[in-house]
Structure 1
Amino acid sequence: MELWNNPSCSKSACARTALDAAGFPYRLRPYLEEPPTADELIDVLGRLGARPWDICRTGEPAALARGMADWPREERDVRRWIDAMVEAPELIQRPILLLDDGSAVVARTAEAVDEALRRTHRQPG
């Protein structure tokens, strides 16, 4: 299990606390210092079943400077969004939890973390 973590984010802190309390091992990925590649972000989007604009923080200064709130959200625009988030990883919603079963969760709520832990617990092991 891997947690894309921003140490200054309260939602990331809550996810870390829940994982620690549950005793689940995980790797922290400081995605601001270790930005994902375009291929990694494409993989995560597939795991989430999401489009890039679904996990983009369009209120961030980097998004406002690019005018991303007004960018088209069509299939032909996917790569533009991905390239922007790779260039400015602070645009990526956090925290993202990558589960060992190949799925992923945007773990912004206690409920999302709990569901991820339930799914992880059900895995044969």
Structure 2
Amino acid sequence: MITIYHNPRCTKSREGLCELELLNEPLSIRKYLDEPFTKEELIDVINKLGIKPIELVRTKESIWIENFKNKSLSDSEIIDAMLTYPKLIERPIVVKGNKAVIARPKENINKIL
């Protein structure tokens, strides 16, 4: 099963979803703004991505700039910020098994297939 953490208002997220639909594999679509991550889920995805939490943050978002830019935050505080403001989470995220990628560009999906 492939899961895409999707924001339908985002062009890159829509492109990633279209790419996945072409694969003809079981697909779960999670609109993470409507159904937010739990802390455990977000930590699990970050671990599958193999990145630091800050690498999943959309640091150009006004929410980040106004509330967090230039602050020294721990990984836990960054995760809490993403949980409080899910719009900060980079998208789309595609997960298959124990692997995940940020599908920007959509070709990154091929890395986990």
The normalised TM-score by structure 1 is 0.83
The residue that corresponds to 1:78 in the other structure is 75
Shift of residue 24, structure 1, vs aligned partner: 2.1
The Cα shift of 1:72 comes to 2.5
- Are the equivalent residues in 2 in contact too, given 1:19–1:25 (CA < 8 A)? no
Larger Rg: 1
Which range is displaced more, 57-66 or 84-93? 57-66
Give me the identity figure in percent.
35
Q: Secondary structure at the match of 2:22?
A: helix
Q: Deviations over 1:79-102 (max 9, x none)?
A: 1100000000000000000112x1
Match in the other structure for 1:69: 69
Q: Secondary structure at the match of 2:40?
A: helix
Instruction: Calculate the aligned-residue CA RMSD, in Å.
Output: 1.3
Gaps of 5+ in 1: 120-125
- TM-score when normalising by structure 2: 0.92
1:115 is matched with which residue? Answer: 111
Tell me, which stretches of 5 or more residues in structure 2 are unaligned?
none
**Structure 1 segments of 4+ aligned residues over 3 angstroms from their partners:** none
Higher helix fraction (1 or 2): 1
3-state DSSP of counterpart to 1:114? helix
